[in-house]
Amino acid sequence: MDRSLEVDQHKLVSAWQERLPALMDDGDSFSVLADNGDPNSLLIHFNAAGHQGYSLDFRCKYVDSREVAVDLLDVEQSGLHIDERSDAVQQLAQQYSRQIHECAQALQNLTNP
């Protein structure tokens, strides 16, 4: 059975924008954009509250209608690119990656009807 994603990308972005805030920590903010280069991917930008101005960019690619692959694309601190290998950044990246996976699961009624 083919489990390819058959959801309009803009509809998916809207669903993510509605669902993701419920999974996030207070004060954190985010944006979700369609990846114009890949109709099965979303670009998600997080601004971490109180973590020295960290922001992290992820690509969330739907491998199929039930599974996503999450890649950390970029980390900035106060607008400057930084090394993502520090403990603080790794903890944030793991937290946000988990939230992305939770959001994808919560939206399975849309992506895997």
User: Is 99 in contact with 12 (CB distance < 8 Å)?
Assistant: no
For residue 54, the surrounding DSSP H or E stretch is: strand 54-62
Q: Which domains does the chain have, with CATH numbers?
A: 9-111 (3.30.530)
Q: What is the pLDDT of residue 26?
A: 86
| CA distance linking residue 75 with residue 62, whole number of Å | 22
The pTM of this model reads 0.93
- The DSSP 8-state label assigned to residue 17 in this structure reads H
Asked whether the CA dihedral 50, 71, 63, 36 is positive or negative, the reply is positive
Amino acid identity of residue 111, one-letter, is: T
Tens place of pLDDT per residue across the chain (113 aa): 456 788 899 999 999 999 999 999 889 999 999 999 999 999 999 999 886 899 999 999 999 988 999 999 999 999 899 988 999 899 999 999 999 999 999 999 999 88
**Paired tokens of 88:** 């603080």
